[in-house]
Amino acid sequence: MLLRRARPPDTYLLLRVEELCFDDLAFSFRALAYHVKNNIVVVCEVDEAIAGYYILSPLTKKKQRRLYSIGVHPDFRGHHIGYLLMMDLEKRSKAKTLILEVDETNDAAIRLYKKCGYEVFGRYDKYYGSTGALRMRKLIKK
């Protein structure tokens, strides 16, 4: 298992994982290419396959970053890849605060984020079409 920064040639493989994870709400190829070029995008490689990834926003003046997306390929779920990605993004972020939104019906993701120390601090109605989103954050102690 290898965690590394994504490269432009990874974009098509990232798109496939994104589509498997998020269906109609998946980022487009163009959006993913933009993120690979301009933001922190890290992939988890297992046997040369992309098993998962995350996308972090740029660091703000307040030393905050937003987790734009995190996904684990369905074939690799249940192997703690999501947890490893969350720990890695915390190390790479150089942020004081990490923020994310999660579909309020995605119990597995909510459990993972709480396990990683995130707390709910707000909610958006109909953020993901017909379902709301929980806003979660973690204050990083360095």
Extended strands (E) in the chain: 2-5, 40-46, 49-56, 64-72, 97-103, 119-128, 131-139
Give the pLDDT score at 127.
84
Tokens encoding 79: 């192997």
Tokens encoding 83: 């947890």
Report the C-alpha gap between 102 and 100 in whole angstroms: 7
Edge-to-edge strand list for the sheet holding 97-103: 2-5, 40-46, 49-56, 64-72, 97-103, 131-139, 119-128
Q: Among the listed ranges 38-42, 46-50, 57-61, 137-141, which one has the minimum average pLDDT value?
A: 57-61
Whether the full predicted model's pTM is greater than 0.75, yes or no, is: yes
Whether 105 shows a pLDDT value over 90: the answer reads: yes
Phi and psi at residue 118, in whole multiples of 5°? Answer: -80, 145
pLDDT above 90 coverage of the chain, percent: 87
Amino acid letter at 52?
Answer: G
Average pLDDT over residues 95-121: 95
Residue with tokens 């109605």: 125
